[in-house]
Amino acid sequence: MELISLSALDLTLAALLVVALAGLTVWARMGLGRSLLIAGARTVIQLLLIGLVLQTLFDHAQLGWVALMAVTMLAVAGYEVMARQQRRFAGLWGYGIGAVTMFVSAFAVTVLALTTMVGPSPWWEPQYAIPLLGMLLGNTMTGIALGLDRLTQTVWRERRTIEARLALGSGWSEAVATMRREAARSGLMPTINAMAAAGIVSLPGMMTGQILAGAPPVEAVKYQILIMFLITAGTGFGTLGAVWFASRRLFDTRERLRLDRLKPGRHT
Amino acid sequence: MDRLLDVRQLKTAQLGPLDLAVQPGELVQVTGASGAGKSLLLRALADLDPNTGEIMLNGEARDAMLPVQWRRRVAYVPAETAWWGEHVDEHLPAGFSRETALHLLEQVALPEGSLGWEIERLSSGEKQRLGLVRALLNKPRVLLLDEPTANLDLENTKRIERAVRAYLAEEDAAALWVSHDTLQRQRLGGRILTIHEGQLENTAWS
């Protein structure tokens, strides 16, 4: 089996489907036409660019370039985590909690997988390192963003309860335990659901891609299992870490609830 | 030393600096226009808001105690008590004495079985009375009462007043009581502190 190369015409035909959908929404006055077309255009431009970047990276496989790419991906993911918070921490913490926990979890899991499980040579071989890191960062980012958002929202809403517990002599950790548990759950649920539904409800994207590219299904499945475990570990450790640090940061050294450390909520 | 609570140069973003001393067994009333800083004073004393200055309880510095220990001894009771579990007994401090609980329940005219009641079915009067019992189970030395009877009828208000008085007498503890109700102020009596724009303005006796 070999990969069938797609021509410009093939892509144009697919694009016409999106244009047709946009036309339909305009006709039905649903106000989605513009967003659809802009998002479609962004897909083309962003993916073509990243294709070129990856091609260049593969052609000049040097550790420095791979590291630069990885750090850029992390920086953007850190920004995404921050941007998705309705009430985020003020100052550097708003960016730092997400970025640092993602660095620790997604980076560590990727490096561990590359050095001990996949084992390309050299271990940072961009063909393996970049897609792996991308999948891990993408999922970890979602988990951490969901977890942090849920934590700050519920703590804000339940501040009277938290202060009542503090006033009755509970420690900060006990006073915020329910909210922390809920936040960790909401960060991890998508990943757990994806594992549970894998192969039955949906064929995961990476596996599908490998099969399309001509890999034997059993090999593709093995990669998919590996990836799902890595994603679960990365997302899980990242979310638990982020939620823990954020919940600690919501209290000061005298265990007072410090909602003034959050920026005011956005009305969206 | 006969000062139970000794506050020097207490300062928060909107309050103070102010000095204050409270004797054992004393009930001190705190009054002032709304927004003057009455709640802020109680919250600062309970160490719920950031503050500077020196607070001593029985000669022991606040900063030398863990926050958890401090808040058990200097207990803040808000106008509306918060409940988070399904039953009353989920909200009680770990390892409380059953005997003390029964005694306190009797003071606020609630039966022993009320500890197993569902939160959903409590009236506001029952919530405030149980809220007081819950705080007193920690055996605080100082009670910070932030309009604890604001939403209650006269009967429930008087039950709470009696229970606080009895507790102060039995334990030789002190209370700071914020109240808007003139009649309640007359009933409570004692020293009255007035706060204006975050400063202690004057002290009167009734």
pLDDT in tens, A72-83: 999 999 999 998
Query: What does the pLDDT read at residue A151?
Result: 97
Please compute the mean of the pLDDT values over residues A121-147 and round it to a whole number.
94
> What's the rounded Cα separation, in Å, for the pair A220 and B140?
65
Name the nearest CA neighbour of B47 among B84, B92, B90, B5: B5
Q: What are the structure tokens assigned to A24, written together?
A: 């339909």
Whether pLDDT at A44 is above 90:
yes
Residue A113 identity: A
Nearest by CB: A256 against B49, B72, B138? B49
A168 and B138: CB-CB below 8 Å? yes
Interface of B with A in 55-74 (CB under 8 A): 67-69, 71-72
**Residue B136's Cα: distance from chain center in Å?**
9
**B3 against B2, higher pLDDT:** B3
> What's the rounded Cα separation, in Å, for the pair B143 and A157?
26
Q: Can you give the C-alpha Rg of chain B in angstroms?
A: 16
B50 and A169: CB-CB below 8 Å? no
Which chain A positions have a beta carbon within 8 Å of B47's beta carbon? 254, 256
B174-178 and B142-146: which strand pairing? parallel
- ipTM of the shown complex: 0.94
> What's the rounded Cα separation, in Å, for the pair B108 and B113?
13
> What's the rounded Cα separation, in Å, for the pair B18 and A150?
39
Name the nearest CA neighbour of B66 among A178, A259, A166, A245: A166
pLDDT tens per residue, range B175-199: 999 988 889 989 998 899 999 999 9
pLDDT tens per residue, range B142-181: 999 999 998 889 999 999 999 999 999 999 999 999 988 8
Whether pLDDT at A132 is above 80:
yes
Please report which confidence band the pLDDT of residue A1 belongs to, taking 50, 70 and 90 as the band edges.
Answer: low
pLDDT tens per residue, range B110-142: 999 999 999 999 999 999 999 999 999 999 999
Nearest by CB: B82 against A161, A171, A257? A161
Could you give the C-alpha distances from B59 to B72, B130, B136, B200, in angstroms and in order? Answer: 17, 31, 22, 23
**Left if phi > 0, otherwise alpha if psi is -120 to 50, otherwise beta: which for A91?**
left
Whether pLDDT at A11 is above 60:
yes
B185 and chain A in contact, CB less than 8 A: no
Q: How many CA atoms lie within 13 A of A73 on its CB side?
A: 26
Please report which confidence band the pLDDT of residue A266 belongs to, taking 50, 70 and 90 as the band edges.
Answer: low
Can you list the domains of chain B with their CATH numbers?
Answer: 5-81+140-205 (3.40.50.300)
Give A76's contacts (C-beta < 8 A, 6+ positions apart).
Answer: none
> What's the rounded Cα separation, in Å, for the pair A93 and A152?
13
Please report which confidence band the pLDDT of residue A268 belongs to, taking 50, 70 and 90 as the band edges.
Answer: very low
Which chain B positions have a beta carbon within 8 Å of A171's beta carbon? 67-68
A252 and chain B in contact, CB less than 8 A: yes
**Average pLDDT of the residues of chain B:** 92
Query: What does the pLDDT read at residue A198?
Result: 87
A255 and B68: CB-CB below 8 Å? yes
**CA geometry: angle B114, B118, B121, nearest 5 deg:** 100
